[in-house]
Chains A and B, each alone.
Chain A
Amino acid sequence: MSEKNYGILLLSFSKHSHQSSFVPLYQQHPRTHIVAVTDEVDIEPELKAVNKKWAQQLDVPYIEGVDRALERTDVDILSIGHEIERRADLALRGAAAGKHLWIDKFIGASIDECDAVVKGVEAAGVKSIIPSYIYGELVRQSRAVLDSGRLGGLLGLHADIMFGKGWPRPIPSPPTRDAFLPPGRWKFPDIKRELLTVGAYSAGLIQQCLGPISHVYGQAGAYFFPEHAAHRADDFGTLTMTDDAGRIATLCAGRIGVAAHAAGGPQQTYLIGTKGNILIDAKSPRLDTFLRQTIVATNYQPHTEDYMQWHSGPPTLAAPLMPDNAGLEAGLQEFIRALDEDRPPTYTVREARDNMEILIAGYLSVVRGKLVELPLEREAS
């Protein structure tokens, strides 16, 4: 019997999503094919134009109206790349239509939304995967060394992930901690909140290495971009947490501007064990590349239409040697295997919900200026 080939419906190419990074994966995987692009009817004309352009490029239909697209019987997987505020509703509708879900990072904008998605997806009996956090080099290498037993018992994990993107400028009067924007509003047309956006990767790593997180302390503010300062939002932040056994995790996350790192920004973690420590660099192994003309002629100025470099990277002085550094390809393979075997993937909407709870707790801690306990009280979300 031939193996099933899965039809994929691309739901939105919103500028804050990684849908465009998923396209080559779907095209290259022998068991997936893109059947259409869709989006809601009430989206901005700019987004509609981008969606249509992608549909044209991929030579598939663009379907206005998600519910209409979900009626198609050749759609097995819904690839959700919409704005964070719309994701929960779209995920629930996709699940109710019996479609499996590939969701770009966040499954909802609040814990209530995330809870609803977990409930809806599990009730519908469809499979879900959030591919961005645990299938990449950082988690792969960390898990391998932990599983080897060489570190002994894990005591702590300390991750630094920073994106060397965007063009920092002086901030004349940075907002005080007291004025920090509470959690809930995650993006504006010109910025995303970076403790959430970048910190989610380290939170995923922490989930895979430690037990359930019980306490979170957060610090955040704007240091690099006047745009973040104007919104009283974070372009950089740190979290400190302990799990139910008292083991320690810390992370820093942020967008720190171009040309601050040879490989486009640190992505590393220290694992501290009773028998040893290890520093894992997600951007290693890599080849250092010092090509004179490339260096002296480099134009670091971000594109005017992608000022924060959400869809582009800065020039770097290093080339990664591992082809699937971010782990998206591994994520897709895992998803297909899970569908074949009728089992949930390792990182589903349930784990993504817990990831979001850690981050929201961090934001609440910044606002309150004190430690926050998990699980969060309902009104806090």
Chain B
Amino acid sequence: MANTALVLVAVPTQQEIVQALCTRTEIAAVFNPTRRPIADLPVPVFADWASLEEYATPDVCCFLTPYAALKKDLHRCIDKRINVLSAGPIGLTLNEIETISKTARDRELALHFGGPYPFSPLFQQLKEQRQRPEFGQPVYLRLVQGKGSGLQTAWWTLCDALNQACELLDSELQEAYVSAVKQNGKYHLSLTGATANRANIQLTIAPLALSLYPDITLLGSGGLLTNRSVSSAPLLMGRDGLEFHLHPTYPPEPAWLGDFLNKINSTNAPDLDWPVLNLHHQILRGARLSMRQKAPVHIKLQP
């Protein structure tokens, strides 16, 4: 797979991330599942798969966003022998995932669900600081982020945040409640959890697409690690107001995608993490139930 043809699936709010990916990796085309255009990209953008496949023959598809037809398009990728990297979970049952992953295995295709956070400088720095003896025992983690207003986007962001939290706390989730509320088509999700090492988690997903870093507060018995994305971002003050800019080398997606490509090339494709996929599935169900019940919903975790 030396000359991999790579396709990205992205929405207009991810323009900066797509640009960063195009700068660092050879991207054949972008599939935009929305009706709104993505501006200023150095690669062709398509709104339907047929046109895209006339232009290029992809062998890797990277889903950067959830959307209504994602499930169908995932099947299409596997049918067409395209490796899949998805930044978040797909709304499939475990049986459906098992079926599709078996098909992928039989066809020697890589299929991976999981976001780019391990390659984020903020995450890496937090992990490094958290491992210092001075940090002590982890006590509490608050993460606040927003990537879009829809339920699927909020769910992806929440799952990604939870993966980060568990990794930063270096422990398994033992208890979890998910809360969700919707108003005017905007979804707000929150997850409260406790890990096996007695730390508490509060994750807050806002219905606003911010390309800035998440805000993370990580409290240990020895002190506090905390960042504010807004204060860390370059700030442009102009006649039209303030603009926050993403640091040009911050987006972790290029390194994440590069890592996936390396693993495919070395035939060391990542395995699916079934307990995590199941948890993500439960979270989505819990969020829907929470909206109906107007109350936090307990997530049953696998022992």
- Interface positions of A (Cβ within 8 A of B): 152-153, 155-156, 158, 160, 162, 168, 170, 174, 177, 214-215, 217, 219, 221, 223-224, 236-238, 240-242, 244-248, 250, 252, 256-257, 259-261, 266, 270, 272, 274, 276-277, 279, 369-371
Contacts and interface: CB of A to CB of B under 8 A. Distances in A.
A238 B73 CA distance: 41
A257 B230 CA distance: 27
Q: Which of B142, B198, B221, B230 has most chain A Cβ within 10 Å?
A: B221
B146 interface: yes
B152 interface: no
B184 A219 contact: no
Interface residues of B, number: 43
Given A214-B294, A223-B221, A246 B192 contact: no
B11 to A, nearest CB: 19
B179 interface: yes
B242 to A, nearest CB: 13
Contacts of A246: 181, 290-291, 293-295
B223 interface: yes
B72 to A, nearest CB: 30
Given A219-B192, A248-B181, A256-B224, 5 more contacts: A168-B221, A242-B179, A248-B179, A252-B140, A257-B221
Given A223-B137, A240-B177, A248 B190 contact: yes
Interface of B: 136-137, 139-140, 142, 144, 146, 175, 177, 179-181, 183-184, 186, 188, 190, 192, 194, 198, 200, 202, 204, 206-208, 215, 217, 219, 221-224, 226, 228, 230, 290-291, 293-296, 298
A272 B200 contact: no
10 contacts: A168-B136, A217-B296, A221-B198, A236-B139, A236-B140, A240-B190, A240-B192, A242-B296, A248-B188, A250-B190
B294 A240 contact: no
Nearest 5 A-B pairs (CB), nearest first?
Answer: A246-B294, A155-B188, A240-B192, A215-B295, A274-B186
A259 B298 CA distance: 36
B183 A155 contact: yes
A225 to B, nearest CB: 10
A279 B231 CA distance: 11
A345 to B, nearest CB: 31
Given A221-B198, A261-B224, A214 B295 contact: yes
A156 B208 CA distance: 13
Given A214-B294, A217-B177, A276-B208, A238 B202 contact: yes
A111 to B, nearest CB: 21
B257 to A, nearest CB: 29
Contacts of B224: 162, 256, 260-261, 266
Contact of A272 (B204, B226, B293): B204
A223 B141 CA distance: 14
Contacts of B198: 174, 177, 221, 223
Contacts of A160: 142, 217
Contacts of A260: 219, 223-224
A245 B224 CA distance: 34
Contacts of B144: 158, 270
B290 to A, nearest CB: 8
Given A274-B207, A279-B230, A156 B190 contact: yes
A370 B295 CA distance: 12
Given A217-B296, A223-B198, A246-B294, A277 B228 contact: no
A256 B136 CA distance: 12
A259 B221 contact: no
Contacts of B228: 279
B190 A158 contact: yes
Nearest to B224: A260
Contacts of B186: 152, 155, 274
A174 B137 CA distance: 12
B192 A250 contact: yes
Contact of B146 (A162, A221, A277, A369): A277
A172 B296 CA distance: 34
B204 A242 contact: no
B20 to A, nearest CB: 24
Contacts of B204: 156, 158, 250, 270, 272
Nearest to B185: A274
A203 B45 CA distance: 49
A52 B38 CA distance: 74
Nearest to B142: A160
Contact of A247 (B142, B181, B215): B181
B287 to A, nearest CB: 11
A245 B294 contact: yes
A274 B136 CA distance: 38
B151 to A, nearest CB: 13
Contact of B217 (A174, A240, A266): A266
A361 to B, nearest CB: 12
Contacts of A152: 184, 186
B202 A158 contact: yes
Contacts of B175: 219, 369
Contacts of A170: 221
A279 B179 contact: no
A347 B39 CA distance: 51
A261 B223 CA distance: 8
B295 A279 contact: no
Contacts of B223: 257, 259-260
Contacts of B294: 214-215, 242, 244-246
Contacts of B146: 277
A270 B136 CA distance: 27
Contact of A240 (B140, B226, B293, B296): B296
A371 B142 CA distance: 20
Contacts of A168: 136, 221-222
Nearest to B194: A219
B192 A371 contact: no
Contacts of B208: 276-277
A371 B206 CA distance: 23
A254 B290 CA distance: 28
A28 B84 CA distance: 69
A283 to B, nearest CB: 13
Contacts of A247: 181
